Structure 1
């Protein structure tokens, strides 16, 4: 009989009786369990072990590697806990089914950690991609292409197609209270693109909300503009502090403050317009998810109070898909030429066929039907999130849920990073609240998570939210963990 291979050499299984053949190299420092876990992680991370691959039983792998059976069992168990493997009675141990590794910088918002393998995506950026209205979009594309004039297929107009600009002018007036004309609308490839264009015609400091997307602050600083933070509370940004900032423009999310969730109070809406009129300042209004509201009446756009002092930004990223790369700006008339000059003489960003399709999609009523349908779906998901938290983690408060596709979970002090690590071990992609805080803000830091419930497909949302509850910190000493959730003694 041959000798067992030593743990420091490559081995391949030669048995025909169970599991997949493996090639593992148990090299490096540490005990046998540590080396085996490292070898399995490398094989999975590199793609050599595909999702669903069945691993050998404990005894068989232990015999081939010349290590104890209990060592293999312990390594398997720990990798299951980390989310690399799955184990079910009667099915053995398998490589977990995972999405592709996430590359940093591919999402609107704080970058995810590189090489994170995701089972459930709860990042607050996207709608449910599986719910994209393919049939009705194709129908609109057919109609739009048949009806399109020949000049639509020539050099693109940087203003955008007139069909879409007129459809948007009508739609925004009807649903958001925006007062504009088609010739004051400029099409862009999304909010970030539009913001870059407008920033190129701004001068002086720009006030921003103390909590907001760092990528938007970066856009401002990249063109040489200083950002000054405004504190936020349950009623949105504290615009009464604007005069003291010396800002010449202010960037706000009035309908649903991002990410904390409050709507700008009516008195503050009037106050920011008064400030703009008195100083010649400009309000940049990011209306990123104004269509999705649940527990309150629709909040109209601030732009309707004074179209000459507000740039109103919108996009199809939340309502349809970020992959369309379609956004729009309703500009004060005096800024149109300057923004077009910044954009260039030809349309280099937004495809004409998608513009024509969206124009038809809006005009035929499909856009309204889409929003009504998704509003019901997202409200159900929001309700499921709040119900699970009330049952499993009643010590965690949730806010910002009257509208939008995300919620903020306030955590006990100094628990945000540990919670993010726990979430990653469970295969969850989630955002911490910390990166949203302006580094120059006087507001005290808050520990929390920003949870997007729009991205998971309908069949996976319950499992995603249940996994989230498992990642949350235990209640403070003396408080009940809630039914179905035992303290873990961290």
Structure 2
């Protein structure tokens, strides 16, 4: 890809992601060119293209700034609601109830680690993480998630965000040019990072049972990121036949499947659906995290990698930060080995199930024309809107009534689709859930009346 296109894509992605805010000044063309080691003309061409598209503005005296507003064709159909103190109820997704964090059990593990850990564990490690956590996680994942994990193929990272960043860096160095994501998908980390790295990002439509594998065959992607055990946000589970077909596709193309197993342990109608990685450990990168099961502030994530990627991902991790904090890793390893992680999940499943049931009952009573989906697992529910309701109008009306809720639209890649609302219920009590649905019903009456 030409250098000016790479610069354009990186700046465009940063503006879309909010890392470059409105009216922020960009470096002078000579300064940026010198920093990147390219000619000034390359930077000038990139700036001129972004000015033409409306992302940047050029002021007298040579100053270039981010435009005050996004161009209409670049803005998503409805943006995630800005969280603020003015909201009475917030159905924000992707949050776990951190008030239920098992502090006493975690503290016992911290004390054990500080009293018994060998001295050499506090020195620099090889970047993959401590062996104790590799072994504890492999035991847990193979037992509970059905993986085929071995300690030597595991890398510990600072949450899923860092893990997918390291992986994209390695895939680009291996010659990858295109990555496929589910559409819709909340994999903003992968979407933004891939675009900034120069990868083409394509969306694969999602149906009731997860990604539509037929559409995957129409791409020439070098990697695909999936949430097969609980698709985000629709909640579908990729069936066995489709999983096998994805693996066949990956082997024919020499591609990599990235399995984001973000919250499948929280399933309410049956035992959790097993991970794909156990079917093809040489073709699938398994990504897990403690963010949805314990607390996102722990910044604990892990990747089980195909053997041929371990060394390169480890090198990228060492370059990034020399390795994740040792005490946290050892504490989590002890927490797992004591069975505290299993106990915490058993304790939280009925809590989240009661909150989910309260949400479904309230929707059934007050908004029966909304169609819930993805109710069997996780910490959120999608409710599809009837054709007469516009998603953006409902989200805006809800905000005026003090209700925070997000639409599905901002998470689509290929363009508009059916309108839907995302109800995150993990941190709300049952009475608050009922009050929130009542506010939404009032907002929808307002939209229909107008």
Superposition pairs of residues 301-450 of structure 1, within 5 angstroms:
301-344=275-318, 347-348=321-322, 350-413=324-387, 414-438=389-413, 440-441=414-415, 444-450=416-422
Aligned residues: 366
Select the structure that is richer in helix: 2
Which consecutive residues of structure 2, in runs of 5 or more, have no partner in the other structure? Answer: 1-78
RMSD (CA atoms): 2.1
Out of 116, 130, 133, which is 1:147 matched to?
A: 116
SS class of match (2:360)? helix
Alignment partners' CA distance in 2, 1:191 and 1:406: 19
Check 1:309–1:411 CA distance in 2 against 1; reply closer, same or farther (3 A cut): same
Distance change >3 Å, CA 419–CA 437, structure 1 → 2: same
TM-score by length of 1: 0.71
Q: How does 1:199-348 map to 2 (within 5 A)?
A: 199-202=168-171, 203-213=176-186, 214-344=188-318, 347-348=321-322
Residue in structure 2 matched with residue 130 of structure 1 by the alignment? 99
Q: CA deviation at 1:205?
A: 0.8
Bigger relative contact order, structure 1 or 2, given CA contacts below 8 A and separation 6+? 2
Q: For structure 1, which segment, 293-302 or 282-291, has the greater mean C-alpha deviation from structure 2 after superposition?
A: 293-302
Deviation at 1:126, TM superposition (A): 1.1
Structure 1 residue 465 displacement after superposition: 3.5
Compared CA separation, residues 209 and 115, structure 1 to 2 (3 A): same
Partner SS for 1:137: helix
Q: In 1, are the aligned partners of 2:92 and 2:423 still within 8 Å (CA)?
A: yes
- Within 5 A, what are the aligned runs for 1:108-187? 112-113=81-82, 117-187=86-156
Seen in structure 2, the aligned counterparts of structure 1 residues 121 and 148 have a Cα distance that, compared at 3 Å, is: farther
* Higher radius of gyration, 1 or 2: 1
Cα deviation per residue 1:424-457 (whole Å; 9 max; x = unaligned)? 233332211110111x25xx5121111111123x
Give the aligned partner of residue 455 of structure 1: 427
Deviation at 1:134, TM superposition (A): 0.8
| 8 Å contact from structure 1 (residues 209, 232) kept in 2 | yes
In 2, Cα distance between equivalents of 1:117 and 1:285: 37
Structure 1: unaligned runs, 5 residues or longer: 1-109, 476-480
Normalised by the length of structure 2, the TM-score is: 0.77
Alignment deviations for residues 13-64 of structure 1 (CA, whole Å, 9 cap, x no partner): xxxxxxxxxxxxxxxxxxxxxxxxxxxxxxxxxxxxxxxxxxxxxxxxxxxx
SS in structure 1 of the partner of residue 170 of structure 2: coil
